[in-house]
């Protein structure tokens, strides 16, 4: 049996270049609008060279989403059940906002996939994401039952955090126009912290 060789430095570099180019193309055009030719051009590689590393557009997209989901779940995983409830929730909100600032293309890629019905990540949404959200919802419910934060539907609390933070990345063009050149991330952290602190205070 032939032993599978580890990828060389050049192979790792080319894979990373392809995924970076694909992120740009997919975040602009979505899965359906993107083509292998566009990704190859953005990566500065020939189409046959690209297909040596990834056999199809689906394979590239799946590789991107797999890495993205790990990144996406990390801020919620970091919410500590033994921490101060108010600070844990506000810190989670700030981490999500920072992700929108640091990873806008990844946010739009994820949003485009969800808008299309999540055909390539539905299994993961139904398992990894759902399990984590249900786990943290139980923590939130416990904090509410203990009177540490105001009572509300824990899932809708998480949905509101997602919508109010990811909006800055997913609707960046609209935000930039309406803010007249002002950096939206300058005032957003304080505004959102005030909003959620008032809502969560018992």
- What is the predicted pLDDT for the residue at 28? 85
Q: Is residue 60 part of a domain?
A: no
> Is there a single domain that holds both residue 134 and residue 178?
yes
Number of helices (H) and strands (E), helices first, in the chain? 11, 0
The CATH number of the domain holding residue 94 is 1.10.357.10
> What mean pLDDT do residues 91-102 have?
97
For residue 14, give the nearest of 69, 60, 58, 57 by alpha carbon.
Answer: 60
∠ at Cα 13 (9, 16), nearest 5°? 140
- What is the predicted pLDDT for the residue at 4? 61
Q: How far is the C-alpha of 118 from the C-alpha of 157, rounded, in Å?
A: 22
> Is there a single domain that holds both residue 32 and residue 120?
no
For residue 37, give the nearest of 24, 46, 26, 27 by alpha carbon.
Answer: 46
Q: How far is the C-alpha of 199 from the C-alpha of 67, rounded, in Å?
A: 33
H or E stretch at 103: none
Q: Is residue 84 part of a domain?
A: yes
In which residue are the tokens 């994401």 written? Answer: 129
Q: Is the pLDDT of residue 22 over 80?
A: yes
Total-model pTM: 0.86
Condensed to tens digits (0 to 9), the pLDDT of residues 66-91 reads: 888 888 899 999 999 999 999 999 99
> Is there a single domain that holds both residue 39 and residue 76?
no
Condensed to tens digits (0 to 9), the pLDDT of residues 120-161 reads: 888 888 988 999 999 999 999 999 999 999 999 999 999 999
Structural domain boundaries enclosing 30: 1-55
In which residue are the tokens 């990144």 written? Answer: 71
């Amino acid at each position: 049996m032939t032993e599978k060789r580890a990828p060389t430095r050049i192979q790792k570099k080319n894979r990373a270049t392809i995924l970076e180019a694909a992120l740009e193309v997919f975040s602009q055009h979505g899965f359906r609008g993107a083509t292998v030719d566009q990704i190859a051009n953005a990566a500065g590689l020939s189409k046959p060279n690209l297909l040596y590393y990834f056999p199809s557009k689906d394979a590239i997209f799946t590789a991107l989403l797999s890495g993205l989901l790990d990144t996406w779940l990390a801020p919620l995983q970091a919410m500590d059940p033994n921490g101060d409830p108010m600070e844990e929730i506000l810190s989670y909100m700030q981490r999500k906002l920072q992700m929108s600032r640091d990873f806008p293309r990844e946010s739009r890629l994820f949003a485009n996939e969800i808008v299309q019905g999540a055909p390539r990540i539905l299994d993961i949404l139904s398992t990894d994401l759902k399990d984590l959200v249900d786990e943290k919802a139980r923590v939130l419910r416990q904090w509410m039952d203990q009177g540490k934060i105001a009572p509300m539907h824990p899932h809708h609390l998480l949905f509101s955090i997602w919508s109010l933070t990811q909006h800055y990345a997913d609707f960046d063009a609209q935000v930039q126009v309406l803010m007249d050149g002002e950096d939206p991330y300058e005032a957003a952290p304080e505004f959102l912290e005030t909003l959620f602190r008032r809502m969560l205070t018992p």
